[in-house]
Amino acid sequence: MAAHIEMYIRGPYDKVNTRTGACPTCHEYTLAFSVLQEAMPNLLTTLDIVPFTPENPPPILKEYGNGKRFPVLFVKEGKDSKGIDMSNTVCDTTDEIEGLLDRFNCTRLHGRRDSVEEAEAEKAFDSLYVKFMAYIKNPDKDAKGILRELMKLNEHLGRQQEKGLRFAVEDHLTLADCYVLPKVHHIRIAGKAYRDFDIPLDLIHLWRYLENCYNQKIFVRSCPADKDIVEFYRAKTPIKPNMEATKVMLGPVTLTLDVPAEVAQHPPRENGENGD
């Protein structure tokens, strides 16, 4: 029996529940389960993404984390890769969600314990988001820490690109990409709005990676609007955002998914219907 999963994620700041919100963890797992569905359509046939607001969670969520944990997954029906029934399974912690991913045994989503390549990729961005949060919270903090982490990631991606690989581990999206891509995208949007920070153009491998990822349909479908990303950090920093520094004033559904012309690949690599 193929699986049917409902994933409840945090919605946008303006409570329009037709859009995905900017919670990075929700984005990571939306990407991961989208990759799973793309890789194993016979095991995961239906993936319903349901945005909601913490102030008014659906009745089905009220007994799980009081609407404070994101995301919450319900396996409506289905069996794992060993044929064991998972119907009515509920996951509302990251450990439980990781365990659910493991039950599908998808090679594209093997964690660092099961893949040396995945472990190496994750080491390249282990401290990236921590450094970013420290930078965005403190107006007096310089950018040296976040720049070091971006350079480390750039070096890893450069080694991958020398092998002819577009992404962090393989030539298709894997778990490492699901973890790091939302973080880098948040750095690009929120970093500009709050600290007038730009990812340096000389980090060419990182920019080429972003271009490859932005060409993936599953990323575009899961990506929060620029304004939602900016609003996500408003309560996390004393700094006021400079909305004019980004494109967010153009509207709530603006998505900055381009790369500077100086680093764009010409022509971009052609992708298939699913972006692979």
Nearest to 259 by CA among 186, 187, 209, 194: 209
Distance CA 186, CA 106 (A): 27
Longest dimension (CA), the chain: 56
CATH superfamily label, 3-109: Glutaredoxin (3.40.30.10)
Give pLDDT, residue 271: 41
Average pLDDT score over the chain: 88
Over residues 174-180, mean pLDDT: 97
Nearest to 64 by CA among 91, 89, 88: 91
Residues 78-125 have pLDDT tens digits of 999 999 999 999 998 899 999 999 999 999 999 888 899 999 999 999
**Would you tell me how many other CB atoms lie within 10 Å of the CB of residue 137?**
14
Nearest to 220 by CA among 271, 256, 248: 256
Is the pLDDT assigned to residue 268 strictly greater than 50? Answer: no
**60-69, 150-159, 194-203, 228-237: segment of lowest average pLDDT:** 60-69
Nearest to 182 by CA among 47, 63, 49, 25: 25
For the chain, percent of residues with pLDDT exceeding 70: 88
pLDDT band at 246 (very low <50, low <70, confident <90, very high): low
Residues 20-73 have pLDDT tens digits of 889 999 999 999 999 999 999 999 999 999 998 877 778 877 776 544 567 999
- In sequence order, which residues have a C-beta less than 8 Å from that of residue 154 and are 6 or more positions away? 203, 204, 205, 206
pLDDT band at 262 (very low <50, low <70, confident <90, very high): confident
Q: What's the burial of 4, exposed, middle or buried (CB within 10 Å: 0-12/13-18/19+)?
A: middle
Q: Is 96 helix (H, G, I), strand (E, B) or coil?
A: helix
Over residues 181-193, mean pLDDT: 95
Q: For 75, phi and psi rounded to 5 degrees?
A: -90, 105
Give pLDDT, residue 61: 79
Nearest to 4 by CA among 41, 51, 52: 41
Give pLDDT, residue 263: 81
**Does 116-250 match 3-109 at the fold level?**
no
Residues 139-162 have pLDDT tens digits of 999 999 999 999 999 999 999 999
- CATH fold of the domain at 116-250: Glutathione S-transferase Yfyf (Class Pi); Chain A, domain 2 (1.20.1050)
Is the pLDDT assigned to residue 267 strictly greater than 50? Answer: no
Position 224, amino acid = P
Give pLDDT, residue 245: 64
Domain boundaries, the chain: 3-109, 116-250
Q: Which residue has the higher pLDDT, 178 or 276?
A: 178
- Evaluate whether 115 touches 106 at the Cβ level (below 8 Å): no
Q: For 249, phi and psi rounded to 5 degrees?
A: -70, -10
Give pLDDT, residue 128: 97
For the chain, percent of residues with pLDDT exceeding 90: 69
